[in-house]
Structure 1
Amino acid sequence: CWQEPSTGGRLLRGSSTAADDMTLDKCATFCSAWPYFGTEYGRECYCGLFVSSGGAAAPLADCSFPCAGDATQNCGAGNRVSLYYHKTKPRPESPSTLGDSTRFGCLTDSRDGRTLSVAGPASDDMTLESCATFCAGYKFWGVEYGRECYCGNEMLQTAVQVENSECDMLCLGNSAELCGAGDRVMVYARD
């Protein structure tokens, strides 16, 4: 049992569904392409590549809502997720190299101070390759929120490098790639 992040957002940020006949098996099947799945409020199902930062383990007794489709199973509770892991699902990773670029790492970012100053396209078809192509004339390029692209010849001095696992959103244009996260930009440097 896990609690949703106190900072907002979802513990699992992939696909989601809700049904009045929700069961653990139904959620597992719906999320079969994702490593993590979880149920909440008795009828909601969430999938994810990673467990988002800000969430925390909660007492198992907190996940006490019966599943809408099988009252013998527990399906989370209010802001509590009954969390499961498909052991056979590999996790996508940001490649260490891509064309003429090498992964620099996951850095903090915000609207008040962009790590990379040139805003590229924001697209539901975003891939690492499309951002790299757009930023061809720049030393650095990066992806954020699964759909945003940024470029620059230098990085903001106050940007902080964090664990690569914090850049855990799938690229909307290629679910085998990771494209940063909320206020996290995965940066690549040209060789």
Structure 2
Amino acid sequence: MFTTFRGGQSGGWRVSLLAPVTGEPLAPTPALAVVRAESIALPLLPSQTSWRLAGVASHVRYVERGEMQALTAAQAGLGRREATCAALIPIRKSPAWWELTQEARRQIFEDKSHHIASSMKYLPAIARQLYHCRDLGEPFDFLTWFEYAPEHATMFEELVGLLRATEEWTYVEREVDVRMVRED
């Protein structure tokens, strides 16, 4: 199942912040639509869409069985009624990251950066989904989607700050931070 994020004039989410963290920004847009389909959804007319990013939720990488079980037990699903805040954080890692072996990436991801272990305390308050897009010809490698209730906004900022301070993030060459509020 493909998920397409369309920045444009309309959508279920009102964009409250769109800022480059590292590298090129995305074009400003007032709204975001999230479309799930069997194939990558084509963009709307250019006047209606500022940009389109697509990815696929795939099997989880760099995770060992016990970590996967803990994540599955702790995480909440997307679309919760109270989760009216969201963040889309597209990320592209450097060629140096992709030149590492799978084992070396795992070592940086968890053994050194503690990505999973550090993130566990933020679940289930913050729901998340990772979409892979590196092999789809997209401008980013991953699209990270988070949903949370307004009272968990400080927790989300803490989580993002924690992850951006890790060794893993030294391999990020492009990152954009898009924050939204659900339109009802």
Bigger RCO of structures 1 and 2 (CA < 8 A, at least 6 apart): 2
**Normalising by structure 1, what TM-score?**
0.30
TM-score for both structures, normalised by structure 2: 0.31
Larger Rg, first or second structure (1 or 2): 1
Identify, as 1 or 2, the structure richer in helix.
2
